């Protein structure tokens, strides 16, 4: 194994371990286009140990795209705050869904 190959492998291994550390980065995006009214979404029957996260519009490229609701595993002593869009002085800002302590 050459020194270049060893250095490349070491750098690749370091990058692989560093990648999960950056995955919690948040990106905030404000757009000029209001989301359309949400479609009617039928909520399935409750599931023990899960919380329903309602659907929401995500901004993809240059348009709003509907993301269907889904079940997420509950977090004890927390409640789910759903994704929502807020009008901030004529620009639309998406607040991502998140857990809040009860």
CA distance 68 to 16: 32
Q: How confident is the model at residue 47 (pLDDT cuts 50, 70, 90)?
A: very high
Q: Which residue has the higher pLDDT, 81 or 19?
A: 81
Q: Do the Cβ atoms of 71 and 43 come closer than 8 Å?
A: no
Number of domains in the chain: 1
Lowest mean pLDDT, pick from 11-25, 33-47, 56-70, 79-93: 11-25
Q: Which two tokens stand for residue 25?
A: 């980065």
Instruction: Specify if 47 maps to a domain.
Output: yes
Triad 72, 74, 77: Cα angle to 5°: 150
As a whole number of Å, the CA-based R_g of the chain is 20
pLDDT score for 28: 75
pLDDT score for 65: 98
Q: Helix or strand or coil: residue 43?
A: coil
Instruction: Specify if 72 maps to a domain.
Output: yes
Is the pTM here over 0.85, yes or no? Answer: no
Instruction: Specify if 22 maps to a domain.
Output: no
């Amino acid at each position: 194994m050459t020194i270049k190959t060893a250095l490349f492998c070491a750098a690749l291994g370091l990058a692989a371990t560093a990648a999960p550390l950056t995955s919690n980065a948040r990106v905030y995006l404000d757009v000029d286009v209001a989301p359309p009214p949400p479609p009617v979404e039928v909520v399935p029957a409750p599931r023990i140990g899960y919380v329903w996260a309602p659907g929401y519009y995500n901004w993809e490229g240059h348009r709003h795209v509907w993301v269907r609701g889904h079940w997420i595993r509950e977090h004890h002593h927390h409640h789910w705050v759903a994704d929502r869009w807020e009008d901030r002085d004529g620009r639309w800002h998406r607040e991502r869904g998140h857990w809040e302590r009860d």
